[in-house]
Amino acid sequence: MQRYQAIDFIRGLAILGILLLNIVGFGLPSAAYLNPAWAGSISLVDAWSWALMDGLAQLKFLTLFALLFGAGLSLLQPRGTSWITARLVLLMLFGLIHGLLFWEGDILLDYGLIGLLIWRMLRNVPDNGALFKTGVLLYLIGCGVLLVFGAISSPNPGESWLPGPATLEYERFWKLAGGLEAFTNRLDHLSNGLMALLSQYGWQLAGLMLMGAALLRSGWLKGEFPLAHYRRCAAIMLSIGALLALPGIVLQWQVQWAFRWSGFYLQLPRDLASPFISLGYAALCFAFWPHISRWRLCYALQCVGRMALSNYLLQTLICTTFFYHFGQFMHYGRAQLLLFVPLVWLINLTFSLLWLRYFRQGPMEWLWRRLTDRIAQHFS
């Protein structure tokens, strides 16, 4: 299969960018992921860190990764239904193992499950315009469901938004102790995550995958349009994204991250802005690719993108070891946690460069491919 260097580069950026938010999930209680005032108050530096990450990174790199995942499914279409089905089922299995045994913030299970649901649509809808419009519709349905949840939810925050001392101490206990207690809690997180996926987030994820597939088929995600076109797209989409996102950030700060507003209604501006900003990031990469491709760092990021699965799991291994096994969980604030991110990035970049110097694929990519081939041959 032909490799597209710019897509590998953008995928590498997405994998590294996801850590900007995941680091909060590793180092702080689960309530901190969406509520920066989870402790009842917040320092000014943490508030500004939240605002910066909310505007530039929160959901943006996950959105970008989902678009590229859909594009990847479209690229793999010639391999046939049996091969792709086996591949996605294995991804779900990897996600299940990752989510139950290592970290409750897994996304692999979600991507594998939604990929299976939309795969036939990718195969059976040849019209790019119809595919893209369907993706937009599904994404907007997910946004609408979020508003419905806000309308029917209690205005009083629960322990998942504003945890008490006992809840925080218990979360610290099971994350540091591990074992059956951690497994049971991760199983609860997994079941809650699947409910959220099937009721709300799955609509958005499916929509993004369809949009990504349509953009690849049109040639947009292959970089086939003129550079001037991508520059215009970047300027327009980033401007629209900023106009949508900034009011939500300001209002969340103004209401002091009140549960119903920040947990539901004011998530909507971010959700609507994220596809524009994510595609704006991609457009910037394509617009300046002749220059970017000359950077030494560019090849390293391409290597990270080629080993996306291995690097995603490596981030989990590094962070769970440091925060849980070395007892550093809840020892750092939101802004302090961001200082750890460049170090993990450096490990990702170095590992990818060294590994691909000697091997054609990352270790998990190799395992995934071998198992997929065997299963597909068995059922073909």
Spans of all domains in the chain: 5-379
Which residues lie below 8 Å from residue 332, measured CB to CB, with a gap of 6+?
A: 27, 28, 340
Cα distance between residue 86 and residue 89, in whole Å:
5
Cα distance between residue 18 and residue 13, in whole Å:
9
Residue-level pLDDT at 377: 87
Output the CA angle 176-23-65, nearest 5 degrees: 130
Contact by Cβ (8 Å): 306, 352: yes
Going by pLDDT thresholds of 50, 70 and 90, the confidence category of residue 146 is very high
* 14 burial level (CB within 10 Å; 0-12, 13-18, 19+): buried
Cα distance between residue 67 and residue 56, in whole Å:
17
Residue-level pLDDT at 140: 98
For 379, other C-beta atoms within 10 Å of its C-beta total: 11
pTM, 2 dp: 0.96
pLDDT digits (tens, 9 = 90+) for 237-282: 999 999 999 999 999 999 999 999 999 999 999 999 999 999 999 9
- Return the closest-CA partner of residue 55 out of 315, 238, 258: 238
Please give the structure tokens belonging to residue 322: 């440091």
Q: For 42, phi and psi rounded to 5 degrees?
A: -150, 140
Half-sphere exposure (CA, 13 Å, Cβ side) for 333? 15
Cα distance between residue 324 and residue 45, in whole Å:
25
Residue-level pLDDT at 109: 97
Residue-level pLDDT at 132: 96
DSSP string, 181-200: HHHHHHHHHHHHHHHHIIII
pLDDT digits (tens, 9 = 90+) for 160-184: 999 999 999 999 999 999 999 999 9
Contact by Cβ (8 Å): 166, 320: no
Going by pLDDT thresholds of 50, 70 and 90, the confidence category of residue 125 is confident
Contact by Cβ (8 Å): 128, 216: no
